[in-house]
Structure 1
């Protein structure tokens, strides 16, 4: 079979399969999903931070020379600041055309409505950012799958299933974030499925331009990592501080740790499977 067709099929498997598996979360009854959703936010925080610090950032630094470490670190910093500015613009846009028009005769009531709308739009912007960040991340996954296929077909197949496996818990977290941001189940599924297709785009792009993408790949990884760090720290963690009782706090900590441990475990398993399939790590610097 033509190698390009294999890349398209298995990048689709690596991206779409994880979304389809995670979408089982959306099939739960409303009362069950509403009960699980706050816990899902805690889990998503751990998953996003683990993907960034355990997966994307180390891999990015493996792909560059020591003299490029500072520029790569600067990319992560610029990404965090850039996502802050982007979220500000998203909130400003929503407020400028929506909640800021709420002011009228009853100033106190409208001020309360304005603040409520502002928080609502802040949650909505978190959903927009997770879609953007996940799209970048999936694009990079597609590049890695295509690189594996160009090395060895068996390694490419193994890598695509490894990507799908470690993406599932993160996609569950993404669904939780989108629902928390006010998206309906249908819209959450549609946008998550849409971003999963950037895996195919990354694979096809890498198939034709892998040599040219090699130097920029670490910076894609850094930008994806910065988006996940920003979302977890700036948007999700503050929402956990609304409940300060001991029981809820301990549950939040436990679920964050669970998200970290699961992603780290799956990442280690996927890495070991890749090494077993080829005898060497996927990194092209090895």
Structure 2
């Protein structure tokens, strides 16, 4: 299959499947399953970044003295972007745990303004566009790494998309409307993938650095967001550990 078609398919899967999975988690499955999804996502993100992306960056010819400063700067950069509410838009009371989403959707009486909702969709679109760029860079490195990166994108999008649903519904949106506009936002990953394919294809020297940024993104999300939530899970520790190991195993396979 041509590489561009694989990138398009991966971007669509990364956007649409994560959106539908989040919708299922929000309205079709018990709330406790979302915490298990977080554990699975943690394993996928850490394994993809440390066992696929960073080794690939090192094997591309970059030295450790070149790779790890970029990794450090990227992790710190994501922290700054998050603080500026650009990267994962911690919007007002959206900083409450996604593990408590279902109850908040039905009990919250607070309605965000149209500007706040628009900011959520724009921020989510930017995030998805960036995911598309990272997916394309991974495929240009190696299709196998591209699919592993796609799995990691889907895994970390599930709790984020679930959080977006919670905020949009708390703002008074109907479920169908929230699903539609989140779907439109998710298509930004396709645009990111196409643009990255045609630009990075002619600037191959940049690809290893994009791969490092992708690894930093996954490490930051796992360590700064997902693992702190799991620290407060005192029930089902065995299942959480199993879900993390499943995420790692599937990534290796």
Matched residue, 2:50: 53
Matched residue, 1:219: 209
Offset at 1:243?
2.2
Q: Does 1:256 align with 2:244?
A: yes
**Deviations for 1:194-246, whole angstroms, at most 9, x for unmatched residues?**
22442222222244x1xxx222221111111001100100011111122223x
State whether residues 45 and 259 of structure 1, in contact with CA within 8 Å, keep that contact through their aligned partners in structure 2: yes
Aligned-residue CA RMSD in angstroms?
3.5
Matched residue, 1:182: 164
Normalising by structure 1, we get a TM-score of 0.62
Of the three residues 5, 11, 14, the one matched with 1:15 is: 11
How far apart, in 2, do the equivalents of 1:190 and 1:257 lie?
Answer: 33
Normalising by structure 2, we get a TM-score of 0.69
Of the three residues 6, 21, 41, the one matched with 1:44 is: 41
Offset at 1:50?
1.1
**Counterparts of residues 166-205 of structure 1 (less than 5 Å):** 166=148, 169-183=151-165, 184-205=178-199
The alpha-carbon distance between structure 1 residues 131 and 45, as it changes in their structure 2 partners (threshold 3 A), is: farther
State whether residues 18 and 168 of structure 1, in contact with CA within 8 Å, keep that contact through their aligned partners in structure 2: yes
Of the three residues 50, 67, 70, the one matched with 1:72 is: 67
How far apart, in 1, do the equivalents of 2:19 and 2:83 lie?
Answer: 30
Offset at 1:61?
0.6
Offset at 1:59?
0.6
The alpha-carbon distance between structure 1 residues 264 and 254, as it changes in their structure 2 partners (threshold 3 A), is: same
**Counterparts of residues 1-286 of structure 1 (less than 5 Å):** 8-17=4-13, 19-21=15-17, 24-26=20-22, 28=24, 30-32=27-29, 34-65=31-62, 68-90=63-85, 117=93, 119-120=95-96, 131=128, 134-144=131-141, 159=143, 162=144, 165-166=147-148, 169-183=151-165, 184-207=178-201, 209=202, 213-245=203-235, 248-265=236-253
How far apart, in 1, do the equivalents of 2:198 and 2:245 lie?
Answer: 36
Runs of 4+ in 1 over 6 A off after TM superposition: 121-124
The alpha-carbon distance between structure 1 residues 87 and 47, as it changes in their structure 2 partners (threshold 3 A), is: same
Offset at 1:136?
3.8
Offset at 1:261?
0.7
**Deviations for 1:107-151, whole angstroms, at most 9, x for unmatched residues?**
xxxxxxxxxx37349998xx8596465244223135347xxxxxx
Bigger share in helix? 1
How far apart, in 2, do the equivalents of 1:33 and 1:167 lie?
Answer: 28
How far apart, in 2, do the equivalents of 1:39 and 1:191 lie?
Answer: 26
Q: Higher Cα Rg: structure 1 or 2?
A: 1
Q: Which runs of 5 or more structure 1 residues have no equivalent in the other structure? A: 1-5, 100-116, 146-158, 266-286
Offset at 1:170?
2.8
Count of residue pairs brought into register by the alignment? 215
